[in-house]
Structure 1
Amino acid sequence: MNYRLNIWKLYAIRFFYNLIPAYVIERLFWEQRGMTIQMVVYTEIIFAITVVLLEVPTGIIADKWGRKQMIVLSTLLECFMFLILVFATEFWHFAAAIFLAGIARSASSGSENAMLYDSLLQNGQEQAFEKYLGRLNVCDFTAAIIAALCGSLLASRYGFELNYWISFVSMLVSVCVSLMLVETAVKSKSDESTEIKEHIKASVRFFRKHPGVYLVVLSGMVTGAALSFIDEFWQLYLNRLEIPVLYSGLFSAAIMIVRLPGNIIAYVIKSRFRYRTILSSVTAIFAVGFIYISVIKDYTSLVAIFLICLLSGIIEPITTGYLHHRINSSMRATIDSFQSLGLNVVLIITGLGFGYFSSKFDVFGGYGFIACICVAFFVYFLIVSKETIEQ
C-alpha cells in the first residue's frame, strides 16, 4: 500500500483545519461579546488543563487503536466548537467551546505527527521527517494567511459572525478528508500492555535516559508557549497602538508569512549547525524581542514581533524531529503527546503570570512577564545544554 498518499491528505487536512477567518478577529469578537483579557486567559487555562489531562491518554489510544480515528475526532470536535462560538454570549459558552478545542488538540497532536512519521517510515523516508513536517506547517500558514486576508475584509464589511460560519464549513471539509486517511501498518508493541500507567512510566523512563531530548523538547515548550501569547493577543496589541481593524488581516498574514522560510529550510539548518547553537540563538532573540515589545510602545515594536515569528519557524521541525528520530513507532504518539502536554503545562504557568500583569499594566505588562521567562530559560539552557545535547 502506498502510504505517501497519507502525506497529501495530511496536507489537505491541515490546510482546511487552518482556513479559519474567525481567528483574525477572534479577540475582538470575544471582547464584543463581553470577554475581558482576564476571562480570555481563564479560557486559555481551561484549554491547557484539558490538554494536560487528556494528552497522554489520547496518545496511548492513538498508538493502540489507530491515529486516523483520533484525527477524525479532532476535526469533528472543532466543528462543534465553532457552532457554539457563533451563539456564545456568556463566559461559560466560551469556556465550553474551548474545552472541546482542548479535547480536539489532545486527539490530534501526537496522532498527526505519528501518522506522518510512520507513513514516511513505510516508504523508507523517515530521515526526511523535518522536511515534510516543515511543509505541513507551510500548508498551515498558507491557509491561515488566506483566511486572515479574507477574514479582515469580510469582518469590516459584514461583521464578525460570518467569519465563524465560514470557519465551520472549512472545518467540515477537514473532517471529510480525514475520513480518507489510511491507517499505518506499523505494529504497536503497546498491545502487550493496556495499562495507561505503564505507558506513562515507559515515557518518563525514556526522557530520564535521554536528558538531551528532554532539554530540546523543553526549549520547544518554552518558545512555543511564548509565541502563543503573540498569536492570541496581537489583535489587542495592535488595538492599543490604534491600528484599525481593517489592517488586522494584513498583519496576521505578515506574521505567518515570515514563519514560512524557517519551516522550509529547518532541515537544512539542522544539517549545518549544532542543535545547541540553533536553540540558544533562537531563545536569546525571543528574550530580547519580548523585552522590546513590552517596553517600546510604538510601531517599531512590530519589527520585534516579526523577528520573533521569523525565528519561531525553525523551532517545531527541529525539536519535533530531534524527538521522533529517537523513539520507535510503538510509543510514537504517546511520547509525542508528552511534548504537547509539557507545552500546555508551561502555558498554564505563564498564562497565570501573563493574565496578572496584563490586568495591572495592560497587554504590555503581560509581554514583560513573558520576557522574564525567556531570559530565565536562556540562562538555564546555556548552563545545562553543554554536556547533554547530541548533534
Structure 2
Amino acid sequence: MKYVSRFNQMLTIDALFEGGRMFVGATSVTYLLHSGLSLSQIAFLKSVQAMTVLLGEVPTGVLADSMGHKKSLLASSLFAVLGFALYYWGEGFNFFVIAEILTALSLCFWSGAFEAFAIDEAKLEETPGEIDRFFHSNQSLNSVTVLVFGLLGGFLGHLGLALPYLAAIGSYIFMGALLWSIPETAKTQTGSSEYVPWFKNIKKHLKATFTQGLLHPALMPFFIANILIQFTVQPLLHYWQPYFQSLNAQLGTEKQGLIFAAYCATSALFGAIYAKYSAKPFLRSPKITIVLFAVFSALYCLLGLESPWLFAVVVFCLLQGTLSIARTSLGVRMNENIDSSSRASILSSLSLISRLGMVGALYVIGQLVPAQQSAPSLVPLFKYFGFISVGLVVLIVVGSFINQRKKRVIL
C-alpha cells in the first residue's frame, strides 16, 4: 500500500470517528426529551459520561500501549457502535445510562491511541515536517467534517429523531472496517510489567501538578480558571438545543442543524483569523486574554436575556467563536509559566482535574432545571451561568496581575 494512501486513510479514519458523534450533535437533547427524559435526567447522563472519561482516560491509555494501538482503536469503534445502537434501539433511562458509558469508553480508547497509531503506521517521522503537516490537515478536515455531519444530522432528525443515531452507527462500522484492513506493523509493548512504572509516573505527575502548578501563585488563578471554563461551558455544549426551542417552540431539527453548522463555522473562522495574526505583539499580550474573556462573559450574559431567537443565534455563534480563541490565549498564558521539563505532566494532569468543573456543572444543572419532561425556558439557567462567567473574568484579571509581578520559580 502506498504511503500517500496510508496518510489519507489515517485522515479519513479520524474524520469518521469525529463525524460519527457529530451526526447527533444537533439533535441529541431533543431526541432524549422526546424519549421521555427530563432535563435533570439528561444532566445526570452527561455526568455519567464525564465521570467515565475522568476515570477511564488514563487506564485506557495504558491498555493501548499494552495491547496495541490498533486494538485500542477497534475497541473504540466497537464501544461506539454498541453505545449508539443502545440509543437507537434501547428504551428508557437505564438503557441510555449504559449507552453513555459505552460512548464515553469509546472516547477513552481513542484518546492518544490514534495519534500514536497514525504516526507509526503512516511513517510520519520518516519525513521532516510530515507530522506537522498531518495534524494540520487532520484539524482542517475534522473542522469540515464536524460542520457537514452536524448539518446532515439535523436534516436527518427532521425525518426521524432516531435516524442520526443510525447514521452514527454506520459511520463507526465503516471506520472499524477501514481500521481492520490496515495491518499493524508498529512494535507495541506488552506484559503486565508496564503497569508498575505507570503507577509511579501517575504519582510523579500528580506531585508535579500540585507543586509546580496548582500551588504556584503565578499559575493557580489560571488553573482554577480552566476548571471554571469547564463549569461554564456545559450549558453551551449540552443545552443549547432546548434553549433555542424555548425561545421558538416551532424550531425544527433542520434549523438546529443549521445553528450547529453556523457556530462550528464561526469557531473555525475565528480560530483561523487568530492563527494568522497570532504573531502580533498585541495578541501575545496578557491584555488580550482579559479582553477575550470579558467579551465572552458579556455575550454569555446576553444569552440570559429574553430575546428573539435569531438574535440569540448570532450571540451564540459569536460567543462560541470568542471562546475558541480565548481558551487558546489562556493556554499561552499558562505555558509561559510552566517549566518545560514538567510541561507534559502538568498539562495532562490539568486536563483530568479540569473535568471536575464539568461534573460540578452538570450536577448544578440537574438541581436547577425543572424535573418535568417538557422543555421549559432555559433563559434563567443561562443567566445563572452567565453570572458565573463574570467570576471567570475576575480570575483571569487576578492571574494576569500576579503574572506580571511573580518570577516563575520551580518549587
Output the TM-score relative to the length of structure 1.
0.81
2:16 corresponding residue in structure 1: 16
1:168 corresponding residue in structure 2: 169
| CA spacing shift, 1:311–1:72, aligned 2, 3 Å | farther
Tell me the CA shift for residue 309 of structure 1.
1.3
Is 2:356 aligned against 1:345? yes
- Highest CA radius of gyration, 1 or 2? 2
| One-letter amino acid of the structure 2 residue matched with residue 22 of structure 1 | V
Tell me the CA shift for residue 315 of structure 1.
5.5
C-alpha separation in 1, matches of 2:33 and 2:320? 25
1:359 corresponding residue in structure 2: 370
Question: Any residues of structure 2 matched to 1:1-391 within 5 Å, and which?
Answer: 8-17=8-17, 18-19=19-20, 20-62=22-64, 66-112=68-114, 123-125=127-129, 133=135, 135-156=137-158, 158-179=159-180, 180=182, 194-207=196-209, 208-210=211-213, 219=225, 221-242=227-248, 243-245=250-252, 246-272=254-280, 273-274=283-284, 276-299=286-309, 300-314=311-325, 337-359=348-370, 362-385=377-400, 386-387=402-403
Tell me the CA shift for residue 41 of structure 1.
0.1
| One-letter amino acid of the structure 1 residue matched with residue 100 of structure 2 | I
C-alpha separation in 2, matches of 1:16 and 1:342? 29
Task: State the secondary structure of the residue aligned to 1:174.
Answer: helix
Task: State the secondary structure of the residue aligned to 1:295.
Answer: coil
CA offset digits 1:74-126 (Å, max 9, x no partner): 22211111110011221111110001122122222344456678976664449
Instruction: Please list every run of 5 or more consecutive structure 1 residues that lacks an aligned counterpart in the other structure.
Output: none
Tell me the CA shift for residue 341 of structure 1.
2.2
Contact 1:82 1:165 in 2 (8 A): yes
| CA spacing shift, 1:372–1:71, aligned 2, 3 Å | farther
C-alpha separation in 2, matches of 1:140 and 1:389? 39
| CA spacing shift, 1:233–1:285, aligned 2, 3 Å | same
| One-letter amino acid of the structure 1 residue matched with residue 325 of structure 2 | I
| CA spacing shift, 1:271–1:193, aligned 2, 3 Å | farther
| CA spacing shift, 1:276–1:69, aligned 2, 3 Å | farther
Tell me the CA shift for residue 215 of structure 1.
6.3
| RMSD of equivalent CA atoms | 4.0
Aligned length: 383
Instruction: Please list every run of 5 or more consecutive structure 2 residues that lacks an aligned counterpart in the other structure.
Output: none
C-alpha separation in 1, matches of 2:118 and 2:331? 12
| CA spacing shift, 1:219–1:62, aligned 2, 3 Å | farther
| One-letter amino acid of the structure 1 residue matched with residue 242 of structure 2 | L
Determine what percentage of the aligned residue pairs are the same residue.
17
Output the TM-score relative to the length of structure 2.
0.77
